[in-house]
């Protein structure tokens, strides 16, 4: 999913929503890791969970969203679900 598409689909949502991902049947908090070529890398981190406002503040809309798991594997993001006031990427 491109950052531009993510921004468009979340327009109007509360910007304080936290981002998470489903990893191995668990929902885990995400943090911004940074950019790598054409990717916006999000990693798992229970201490520094990123919000929707953090992500929509980024300017390069052509970045593909990916989630890096604890094994350093990158997983492309194809969409999200709203679960318990969090945006769970998957």
Q: How far is Cα of residue 26 from the mean position of the Cα atoms in its chain?
A: 15
Q: Residue 46: its pLDDT value, please?
A: 82
Per-residue pLDDT for 23 more than 90?
Answer: no
Residue pair 38/62 in contact (Cβ under 8 Å)? The answer is: yes
**What are the boundaries of each domain within the chain?**
3-89
**In a 3-state reduction of DSSP, which class is residue 5?**
helix
Closest CA to 53 of 8, 24, 18: 18
Query: Over the stretch 52-88, which tens digit does the pLDDT of each residue have?
Result: 999 999 999 999 999 999 899 999 999 999 999 999 9
Q: Which of 1-5, 49-53, 71-75 has the lowest mean pLDDT?
A: 71-75
HSE at residue 17, side-chain half, CA atoms within 13 A, is: 21
């Amino acid at each position: 999913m491109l950052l531009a598409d993510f921004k468009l689909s979340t327009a109007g949502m509360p910007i304080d929503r936290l981002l998470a991902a489903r990893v191995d049947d668990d929902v885990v908090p995400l943090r911004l890791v940074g950019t790598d070529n054409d990717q916006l890398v999000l990693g798992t981190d229970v201490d520094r969970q990123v919000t929707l406002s953090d992500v929509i503040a980024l300017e390069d809309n052509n970045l593909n969203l990916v989630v890096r798991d604890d094994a350093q594997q990158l997983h492309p993001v194809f969409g999200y679900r709203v679960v318990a006031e969090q945006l769970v990427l998957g």
